[in-house]
Structure 1
Amino acid sequence: MILSELHKLHMIVEKDTNAIKYIRKAISIIRGEMVFEDEPIYAEEFEQAIRLAMPNIEELEPLFFNGPDSVIQPFYTDTLNLFILTEKNFRALGIPEDSLRLYIRWWQKDRDSLNAFSNIAIAFERLGKIDSAKYFINLADSVYIIEKKYYERGLFYLALYKTIRNPETMIRAVSSFKNIQGDKEVDWCIKNFIADLPEHYTEIEDFSKAKQVFEFFGSFYKENPIELEYENLRRLIPMFNFTGLNALGMGDIELSIKAFELYRIFSRRLGADLDFTTACNNLGLACRVQGDFDRAITLLREGLKFTEEIAPNDFVGSGFLKGNIAWTYFNMQILDSAEVYFRRAKAPLESLWQNEQRIQLHGQEVLAFGYAGLGFVNMARKKWDKALNNFFECIKYADYAGNTFNRSAFGLVYELIGEVYLELNEYDSALIYLTQSMEYLGQKKEGLLSLEQVFFPSVTMWVMSTRGRIFELKGKNDEAIKYYDLSIEILEKFRSTVKGEEKRINFLMDKMKLYEKMITLLLKMGKYARAFHYVERAKARVLLELLETKMIELPAPEDKNILFERKKIEDRIKNLKEELQKSEGDNEEKNKDLIKNLRSALNSYDSLLSRVEREKPELASLINVNPVSLSGVQQELNKDLTVLEYYFTDTSLFCFVITKNALKTTETKIDMNTLSNLINYLRSAIMNVDEDIYAEPSMELYKILIAPVAKDLKTEDLIIIPHGLLHYVPFSALMDSNGSFMIDKYNIGYLPSASILRYCLEKKDKPKKSIVAFGNPEFEDPKLSLPSAEEEVKEIGKYYNNPLIFLKKEATEDKCHVFAPGYTIIHFACHGEFNRTDPLSSALLLSRGMDIVDDGRLEASEIYGIDLENTRLVVLSACESGLSRITKGDEITGLIRGFIYAGAPTIIASLWKVSDVSTGKLMSSFYNKLNNGLYPAKALGDAERELKKSGDFSHPFFWAPFGLYGYGQ
């Protein structure tokens, strides 16, 4: 009947220019056809949708007549006839474009236009006309939301999902149903979504889809732990495992851990014993790669115990677990235990082959695993021939790699063979295996890559670095620098996927060699300024990214917005790069669009960081690793100031001596264990107040750290930028061969890195106001009382007009948050607590307040949230307030960094537990001199020299612990 009416209409239209009324009549015949259950089609407005779709009408025809059967196929057939007919009629009627646009705007507001948009969108999606489909999807979506038709919106996206199987459409359907508390619909959607999952994932190309599904389900299940049936669970767990393995291989460690955690939970719930042991193994593996060794060992041993109980003859399952335990011990530098477990991992399978000439499924991978591990152990012991034999045994099984992570592991073994040949000075052989490493991983381009071409970062960064080393040994230093630089770029991108300060620090522990190679070569070439840049780059990692990876309170809402915006752009860049990798070579037009969008996102990112650098330099130093240049440092220095920046490798200690107009560098050959022992010796000697046994280690450290540059120290004021363990050195207590201490000649300040000097200097001219001081907080234990601290605060208050002083129970954390932002100087005379495992939990201990939130612990993480823009100086007259956790790659995190970020350019703090009596005298002298016009570094230096000359407190224990951090001039 419909086709008959349309045919009559077509005959009339050719003779009747007023035929639009007949078109309306014909459309009304279609009214009532069904697309969704209980959802009528209001097709009257299709005439304008047709007009919008005119350029694509001919493309729609094959879809309607030849597409797969569906419940809406009859409607599509009639709609196509209507499209074709009305296209001709609109052309015949010559409707003006202006009138048409006005009509479209009215039509978009019409409540009954949704079905038109929805069905056209679905039609274009089925045809594969993505741009046209997106246009109508967006139109429909905006109207659904405006009209709050969430149920209908859910049905629409459900139909889209059934058409294109895109997880994003199911996400929108679920979110729509959740808006109306449609629990049954949500449950149905999720279970059908799971039912559509493949039973097995075998192709690496499936990773993108698996990742989408996982992220959707993972985020949904976290909020809505619905009950799932056996069949649902059976389909989920392979997806979790597949996602985790491939994410790990591609360097997305955080995603892999999330996937393996769900794999472990659901396999246990399913009662899938084999999957549970695999989950323990893989989650332990991911934790090991992340640097969480304790958790890795716990998980792996749990899996091993379970495997040996339920399947004592499963040599593959137990082999993987033993192998990963071995790798964890290797990462912890416990080589003997690592070797034992590597041998245990492969021994049962070797015995099975020797005795029965058979091997269990995936046994080849376990054997490869064991041989690779033994190769690593022998490399660490510098037994090169044994390492080569182990690695060659390993790569016999390279064809058995079943997933992205295993491929990356075999790729790394090829790279390691190259490294061994490099150690044996066989450069050509080394290059052959480095090339094979890349070829095995599917990297077709030889030589230097662009960052966008890197697919396996965990392997490629080492390949590029080793290639650089070969060029360096051949005397081609310029080429070597290119490869070293790329290896560092890859490392920094790879590292950005690791979340959490502790995890990022551990991640870097075995990778600082990449920086060391570059720095050492640049110094050898005399490129001192560029070497200085990489020293700053190596030091600044976790320190400058602290905000992103911790729950830190920010002083201003706009700072939070900046971080959210940054994360959003970074995620977009990451997704676009992944899409580009997947589609490379498949669709030239699509690639052009992806590249265009990627450039746009990168430009947005650069614009954001530029804006932050201009408007919020402290935040910029934390979110954008943009190390200062040598010229940038020199520009900020005055002629009366010298900077000493240290950097050490396993065998050498470098010192950069920087003045306003000059740079000099020195290299001292030193074993790091010797240096560490000397530092510990000095600190323990200073702690022994009853004996003067500090002279020997003090003089030895002076010879190493100061003597090589002493002739270049021509200013009274020094800023020392330590590295690693040197942060624990009280430089003022170092003694030259004549028995003179450093404090006798110099006013010493410290900085965690040169990169923060600039914004410390920007605050140096803050107008002098007054002081707020907190002294002798009240505790339940009377033994914690500090009466001398109370006297110290009262004495200090005498030097200022209108000081604000809080003593005993009034010295609360809450008052610090309220009053500290308004004062130029903030003084704490209290106990301090340094947390070595979690430096951001280090705290100043104040009195408890009335509020339950005011627990009296002013932690480092909370200090980031105090606005100290008006503050010039913070004095922490507290035990160990200057201590920070130091690592090889990340320097200093603790109370000091918190105060610098909060806005204080100068902080005075202590390196060890101090005497409150001597501290009171030191502080009184310091404030007296400060009030008489001396700058902080000079005032502190004079106060320490004065205390040193007094009979009772001449020992370094009393005057050496306090250091000035930031800018003291």
Structure 2
Amino acid sequence: NTRHLDRCEAALGQLEALARHQPAYAPWCTYLRGILINERDCDWAEAEAIFSRLLETDLEPALHGRVLLALGRSYQYQGRWQEALHTYEAAVSLFIELNRPVDQAKAWKQMAICCRRGFTQGDFNAAALDQGITYCRRALDLLEAIEAPSPSVVWLIGSVWNTLGLIHRSLRQWDEAIACYQRDLALCRSLGDRLGEGLSYGNLGEVYQRRGPDTWPQALDAYRQALAIIREFDDRYEEIEVLANLGSLHREMGKPVRALEHYDRAIGLIEALRAGASSEEARAGFLATTVDVYANTVLLCLEMERGDQAFDYGERARSRAFLDVLVSHSPALARRMAAVPTTLAQVQAALPPDALLLEYFTTGLVEAQDRRPASSHRQVYRHRFPPARTLIFAITRQGLWVHDTGLSPNDLLPRRLDSVVERHFLKPELRRRLYDHLIAPVEPLLRGRRRLYLVPHGPLHYIPFQALIAPDGDTLLREGGPSFVYAPSATFLLHSRQRTEGAAPAPLLALGYNGQDRMALRFAEAEAQRVAQVTGGRALIGPTPKKAILYREAAGHQVLHISCHGEFDPDLPLASALYLGPGETLTAMEVLEHLRLRCDLVVLSACESGLSRVRRGDELIGLTRAFFYAGTSALLSTLWRVDERSTLILMEQFYQGLQAGLDFADALSRAQLYLKSLSRREASKLLERFLLEDSASAWPTLFEVLRRPQTHPKGWAESAMDEQTGLGWARRHEERPFADPYHWAPFILTGDRTLLGVEAG
């Protein structure tokens, strides 16, 4: 508990003083400092960094193994189960070489915990439970073979039995689970281990709860005993679990008010713990492990017909994670957001009369679909796992409407994020179905609205809403229809309108790079030059080094425009990169660490710049969030690999709209509609003008440029552009080559400083 950790701090201080004279102790001091940061401060990302650096040094084998175990714990706290498993596997291999069976058993136990927690959170399928049982049995075989075990080994044996009980519970094997917990409880009592008793009581409570109403009184008693003991030791992580279980139990007992009280206390602890993590990945991972508490709270509020509270809890689920990172990356905006927590009443008061806000909320998202035949013959159980639902909160000045779409978010979850969006979500039949579920229920509220604010959730972040097909056959983006603004939360929408203090004086900085070889583009540099010309800004193009200039000068511009090849990394989202020049990339992590902006707008005219990895907690990790953390008020990005010719035309129209006085959203919708309706003849003239204006480059003929293969098989690539003569071109000059949503739908605007008609002071 806290007192013990304080004593550890004092002892570590003495050891660190000794290490100044005896360097051999230094790595041990670093390791122990990391343990304190991990367990006391809950700064798992910082602890991860400490342990990772230690492993790069020449450690004695025993310490190397301990550091591996500690690093695995850091990954566990962040919900990064697969990384934790790999780390523990390395520890097991080392401990086998060193003939250290107790340490080996510790690693097996932690691996079993990862399997069980990963399954519970929906990241692993049921096969992980079988593997977890195997790990527990291996650990018990090693430990119970030890003659005259020490108290620490006895404690470890009890802990393994407890873990095995958790797995049996997930398999709905209630009697086996109770037997395991009782063995652990007896060992804890023999050792005087109060915290261990508390954990066992909590686990017994879950089994009694699941057995049904006859054993609910026993469940309630077990939870109360667990909570009292856990609070003695200030174990906030376990306290969250027990409070959430009490909320779940009271909900089943038909006591919603008491249930909501417990859920609310659990959420308060979650937010306090998450704020202690120092990296986006750590916060997102922790939120992914606790997201079900928020989801169950939202669903409970709706059962109680408290739609306003349901909305408020949904906002807390999204906005707190965003605010946590802003504290370190954009303190001014973070202060504004923290000072005014956004509630439904505040959103309604800020909305103009011609606006509609659609905030979606998904529950029960399972990232690992269980398709293995081995698990199909038995029932498995995820404690507190909410049902799969997709909810719409439709908000106007006048009221709130909540609708259950009947759509499971698991039906929308892409298998892969690279190059999947345009292949999957642009299918006409799916776009019609999504309109029916996501827009049609609130269509009466949409009539006559000038602005539609969209706050997606979960896999809905990958959907180009403007391309959804209405029953009349037209898309949601249409003449006379609303313009669109996306946002990670309503809280962000209300505050992104406020310009950062000390607004930048220069109009625009444009960076353009065509690239080389397989990533070579044709129009990226021409685009950068053109938008700089339209706005009176400055363009940096070609092989000139740009990153140092960007770091130094970006804060002095109102608009930052980057036109180049971009690449989204679905496995390491913070490694997603923009290619600025030969051998020069700008990653999402570098944006987070080095870029500080005072921009009204950042435009990422690049492949996949808008894609982010969505964790179960709805945290988007990628370039989009990185630039918001860096300080922009709004961002225009793309959801998939874009045809650069259509991009060039759209961007010119967008900036011309801004110069004409349109706001960002209206300028984008106008440009998209222009591109959608553009004839082949008109497009030919535009591109020919762009080529002629670029006198610095040795361009090929227009016909050769337009025949170059593109990433999408529709439009120009399969018509006159592929013919050997220009005759087909002349005959089809009235065709609309960019009407397919592949060309115009990937461009999305997130945030808007002019939002809700309010300018910052």
Whether TM-score is above 0.5 comes out as yes
The change in CA–CA distance for 1:324 and 1:823 in structure 2 (over 3 A counts) is closer
What is the CA–CA distance in structure 1 between the aligned matches of 2:603 and 2:235, rounded to whole Å? 48
**Equivalence for 2:132:** 338
User: What is the RMSD of the two structures over their aligned residues, measured on CA atoms?
Assistant: 4.1
For the pair 1:505 / 2:284, whether they are aligned, the reply is yes
* Cα distance, 1:731 vs structure 2: 0.9
For the pair 1:417 / 2:204, whether they are aligned, the reply is yes
What is the CA–CA distance in structure 2 between the aligned matches of 1:277 and 1:758, rounded to whole Å? 49
**Equivalence for 1:805:** 539
Give runs of aligned pairs for residues 815-894 of structure 1, distance below 5 A.
815-847=549-581, 855=584, 857=586, 859=588, 861-862=590-591, 868-869=597-598, 871-894=599-622
The one of the two structures with greater contact order (alpha-carbon pairs below 8 A, sep at least 6) is 2
Give runs of aligned pairs for residues 272-287 of structure 1, distance below 5 A.
280-281=68-69, 284-287=72-75
Unaligned runs of 5+ in 1: 1-202, 444-453, 560-615, 849-853
In the alignment, is the contact (CA less than 8 A) between 1:766 and 1:872 conserved in 2?
A: no
CA deviations on 1:165-213 (whole Å, 9 max, x unpaired) are xxxxxxxxxxxxxxxxxxxxxxxxxxxxxxxxxxxxxx99554222123
* Cα distance, 1:874 vs structure 2: 2.7
Give runs of aligned pairs for residues 468-867 of structure 1, distance below 5 A.
468-546=247-325, 616=332, 618-620=333-335, 624=338, 627-650=341-364, 651-676=388-413, 684=420, 686-687=422-423, 694-714=427-447, 715-744=449-478, 745-763=481-499, 771-774=507-510, 776-777=512-513, 779=515, 781=516, 784-797=519-532, 799-800=534-535, 802-810=536-544, 812-847=546-581, 855=584, 857=586, 859=588, 861-862=590-591
In the alignment, is the contact (CA less than 8 A) between 1:346 and 1:367 conserved in 2?
A: yes
**Equivalence for 1:431:** 220
* Cα distance, 1:480 vs structure 2: 2.2
What is the CA–CA distance in structure 2 between the aligned matches of 1:833 and 1:267, rounded to whole Å? 36
In the alignment, is the contact (CA less than 8 A) between 2:575 and 2:588 conserved in 1?
A: yes
Identical amino acids, percent of aligned pairs: 27
What's the secondary structure of 1:647's corresponding residue? strand
Give runs of aligned pairs for residues 272-311 of structure 1, distance below 5 A.
280-281=68-69, 284-294=72-82, 296-311=84-99
In the alignment, is the contact (CA less than 8 A) between 1:825 and 1:874 conserved in 2?
A: yes
For the pair 1:248 / 2:36, whether they are aligned, the reply is no
The change in CA–CA distance for 1:401 and 1:246 in structure 2 (over 3 A counts) is farther
* Cα distance, 1:721 vs structure 2: 0.8
Match of 1:536, as an amino acid? E
The change in CA–CA distance for 1:643 and 1:437 in structure 2 (over 3 A counts) is same
* Cα distance, 1:671 vs structure 2: 3.1
**Equivalence for 2:376:** none
* Cα distance, 1:900 vs structure 2: 3.6
The change in CA–CA distance for 1:861 and 1:543 in structure 2 (over 3 A counts) is farther
Structure number with higher helix proportion:
1
* Cα distance, 1:933 vs structure 2: 3.4
Match of 1:732, as an amino acid? Q
Match of 2:334, as an amino acid? L
Q: Select the residue among 743, 746, 758 that pairs with 1:961.
A: 746
* Cα distance, 1:961 vs structure 2: 0.6
In the alignment, is the contact (CA less than 8 A) between 1:543 and 1:893 conserved in 2?
A: no
What's the secondary structure of 2:160's corresponding residue? helix
**Equivalence for 2:7:** 209
What's the secondary structure of 2:739's corresponding residue? coil
What's the secondary structure of 2:405's corresponding residue? strand
Match of 1:628, as an amino acid? T
Match of 2:109, as an amino acid? G
In the alignment, is the contact (CA less than 8 A) between 2:240 and 2:269 conserved in 1?
A: yes
The change in CA–CA distance for 1:288 and 1:220 in structure 2 (over 3 A counts) is farther
What is the CA–CA distance in structure 2 between the aligned matches of 1:832 and 1:528, rounded to whole Å? 41
Q: Select the residue among 379, 403, 407 that pairs with 2:169.
A: 379
Give runs of aligned pairs for residues 926-945 of structure 1, distance below 5 A.
926-945=654-673
CA deviations on 1:309-353 (whole Å, 9 max, x unpaired) are 4437x4x44332221222223333322211211122213555x59
* Cα distance, 1:798 vs structure 2: 5.2
The change in CA–CA distance for 1:866 and 1:258 in structure 2 (over 3 A counts) is closer
* Cα distance, 1:876 vs structure 2: 1.9
* Cα distance, 1:916 vs structure 2: 0.6
What is the CA–CA distance in structure 2 between the aligned matches of 1:819 and 1:238, rounded to whole Å? 42
In the alignment, is the contact (CA less than 8 A) between 1:682 and 1:697 conserved in 2?
A: no
* Cα distance, 1:251 vs structure 2: 5.8
What's the secondary structure of 2:526's corresponding residue? helix
What is the CA–CA distance in structure 2 between the aligned matches of 1:785 and 1:935, rounded to whole Å? 33
The change in CA–CA distance for 1:359 and 1:630 in structure 2 (over 3 A counts) is same
Unaligned runs of 5+ in 2: 119-123, 365-387, 679-735, 756-761
In the alignment, is the contact (CA less than 8 A) between 1:244 and 1:255 conserved in 2?
A: no
What is the CA–CA distance in structure 2 between the aligned matches of 1:216 and 1:837, rounded to whole Å? 42
Higher Cα Rg, which structure: 1
Q: Select the residue among 620, 626, 643 that pairs with 1:915.
A: 643
For the pair 1:457 / 2:245, whether they are aligned, the reply is no
**Equivalence for 2:115:** 329
* Cα distance, 1:839 vs structure 2: 4.2
What is the CA–CA distance in structure 1 between the aligned matches of 2:312 and 2:251, rounded to whole Å? 20
CA deviations on 1:731-778 (whole Å, 9 max, x unpaired) are 112123332211124321101121122332233999998743535426
The change in CA–CA distance for 1:831 and 1:361 in structure 2 (over 3 A counts) is same
What is the CA–CA distance in structure 2 between the aligned matches of 1:772 and 1:258, rounded to whole Å? 37
CA deviations on 1:595-638 (whole Å, 9 max, x unpaired) are xxxxxxxxxxxxxxxxxxxxx3x13268x496411222222221
* Cα distance, 1:867 vs structure 2: 5.6
In the alignment, is the contact (CA less than 8 A) between 1:300 and 1:324 conserved in 2?
A: yes
Give runs of aligned pairs for residues 402-413 of structure 1, distance below 5 A.
408-413=195-200
Match of 2:114, as an amino acid? T
The change in CA–CA distance for 1:213 and 1:257 in structure 2 (over 3 A counts) is farther
Moved over 6 A (4+): 236-243, 254-268, 679-683, 764-770
Match of 1:619, as an amino acid? A
In the alignment, is the contact (CA less than 8 A) between 2:487 and 2:751 conserved in 1?
A: yes
Equivalent residue pairs, number:
661
What's the secondary structure of 1:645's corresponding residue? strand
Match of 1:702, as an amino acid? Y
In the alignment, is the contact (CA less than 8 A) between 2:12 and 2:29 conserved in 1?
A: no
